[in-house]
Amino acid sequence: MARGIRKYSMHVYNYFFYIAYASYLPFLSYWFAENGLSAQQIGFIFSIGPLVGFLMQPVWGMLIDYYGIAKQVLIVSMGITPWVMLLYSFAGQHYAAYVGISIVLAVFASATLPVVDAVTVRHAKKNALSYGSIRVVGSVSFGLSVTVFGLLYDKYGLWVMFPGYVAAMMLMCALSFLLDTEYTRKRDDEEKPAGRGGLFREMLPLLKERRFLLFLIPVFIAAIGPQLNNAFFSVYISHLGGEASGKLGILYTISSIAEIPVFLFSGVIIRRLGYVRTLSLVSLAGALRWYILSLEPAFGILMMNQVLSGITYALFLATGINYAYDTSPAHTKTTAHSLFIIVYTNIAGITASNIGGYVIEAGGYRLLFGGAAVLSVIGAAGFALLGRSQAERLRNFTT
């Protein structure tokens, strides 16, 4: 592969990957609600993915760190997940069927996004690029396509998202065969684990590292809001009335467009502010975002709030991924990334999805998003304490 093409290959890969995500991600919980599932049932279904991913993502990450099989994992994951998701369209009113499908789906889907991100980070580091400069291409494609999908589903029905997702993921599966193995297979001796028996011990240095644990705790707290949003935002929009699919498409387009400058300049922002300060400020901005949603505002206000949504999501993700990568040993970088994703997506997702349905039943969306705002403030305080701890360690070291 020519050097120039190889350097920018992950830009193309991310472009089409996020089109596939746009075809279903903003609409799935709305589809569940339209098929008669309650908020508690939707919350439980959304908790299955994080729960299974909690068990599977470290395995995927460590297998890739050890065997260098990122390409093969992506091919298997992307080749299977859309066909499993297609089964949702045949589940009817059988709640047990939704649960069973969700379990199988989560086993394979848990590998997709973390591995794509990990491969993207590795590719960026080796090609003197930033993660944000590649990830922004995904925001562009997501934003360009999600409104089209929303209008399409308003016209032809939500069921169209299932064959659409199958087609998009089959394209991604084919593109995965073209990934440059130079950047998905381990070649450097210093990056190899000590031995085969140490495969499942790859996490231990990270879990014993006090600084890394102090990072993961506020990540979990601040991530409750985004995971509540992932599970219930489309149901929330349908609760406000009107044609939900079209509105969801517009709202997600706005947030995706807002992500673009953040991903482009995330490296500059992180270098100027530092990891900890950036995470603290983003968490505080997230608190404002959730407070606005708790007011159940008019659609115009929701559109403006989606700008804040895109900024906070993009900057938190870029900062957290790079912090996990840069503060972990060379042979555990994919594992460290997986642990960050586990906490941000899986553990927080399990908690938010299960509790969120009950909170909605008890106090509605005002209580749901008001509570998320409070947790975001607590998360910001946790990151501030992490920064103080690191500063104290530095002072002790220099004295």
Q: Which of 202-206, 320-324, 353-357 has the highest mean pLDDT?
A: 353-357
Structure tokens at 371: 């509570």
First to last CA, the chain: 51
Confidence of residue 117 (pLDDT cuts 50, 70, 90): confident
Mean pLDDT, to the nearest integer, of 210-232?
90
pLDDT of residue 341: 79
Residue 168 to residue 152: CA distance in whole angstroms: 15
Mean pLDDT, to the nearest integer, of 89-100?
90
Q: What total number of domains does the chain contain?
A: 1
pLDDT of residue 396: 42
pLDDT of residue 297: 92
Mean pLDDT, to the nearest integer, of 119-125?
82
Tell me which residue has tokens 């994703």: 341
Range name among 37-51, 249-263, 311-325, 334-348 with the lowest pLDDT average: 334-348
Q: Is-contact 30 156, C-beta < 8 A?
A: no
Residue 386 to residue 280: CA distance in whole angstroms: 10
| 3-state per-residue secondary structure call for the chain | CCHHHHHCHHHHHHHHHHHHHHCCCCCHHHHHHHCCCCHHHHHHHHHHHHHHHHHHHHHHHHHHHHHCCHHHHHHHHHHHHHHHHHHHHHCCCCHHHHHHHHHHHHHHHCCHHHHHHHHHHHHHHHCCCCHHHHHHHHHHHHHHHHHHHHHHHHHHCHHHHHHHHHHHHHHHHHHHCCCCHHHCCCCCHHHCCCCHHHHHHCCHHHHHCHHHHHHHHHHHHHHHHHHHHHHHHHHHHHHCCCCHHHHHHHHHHHHHHHHHHHHHHHHHHHHHHCHHHHHHHHHHHHHHHHHHHHCCCCHHHHHHHHHHHHHHHHHHHHHHHHHHHHCCCHHHHHHHHHHHHHHHHHHHHHHHHHHHHHHHHHHHHHHHHHHHHHHHHHHHHHHHHHHHHHHHHHHHHHC
Structure tokens at 103: 């379990």
Q: Is the dihedral of CA 52, 347, 120, 251 positive or negative?
A: positive
pLDDT above 90 (res 355): yes
How many other C-beta atoms lie within 10 A of the C-beta of residue 277? 16
Which pTM was predicted?
0.78
Give, to the nearest 10 degrees, the angle between helix 348-398 and helix 210-239. 150
Candidates 222, 224, 252, 226; CA nearest to 237 is 252
Confidence of residue 251 (pLDDT cuts 50, 70, 90): very high
pLDDT above 60 (res 206): yes
Which conformational region is residue 128 in: left (phi greater than 0), alpha (psi within -120 to 50 degrees), or beta? Answer: left
Return the CATH number at 239: 1.20.1250.20
> Where in the sequence is the domain holding 214, given as residue range(s)?
3-398
Which letter, b or e, does each residue of 220-242 get, where b requires 16 or more Cβ atoms within 10 Å of its Cβ?
bbbbbbbbbbbbbbbbbbbeeee
Report the mean per-residue pLDDT for the chain. 83
Q: Is-contact 349 227, C-beta < 8 A?
A: yes
Mean pLDDT, to the nearest integer, of 322-336?
74
The pLDDT tens digits for 25-68 are 889 998 998 888 988 899 999 899 888 877 887 777 777 777 77
Mean pLDDT, to the nearest integer, of 71-97?
90
Confidence of residue 391 (pLDDT cuts 50, 70, 90): low
Q: Is the dihedral of CA 384, 390, 396, 399 positive or negative?
A: negative
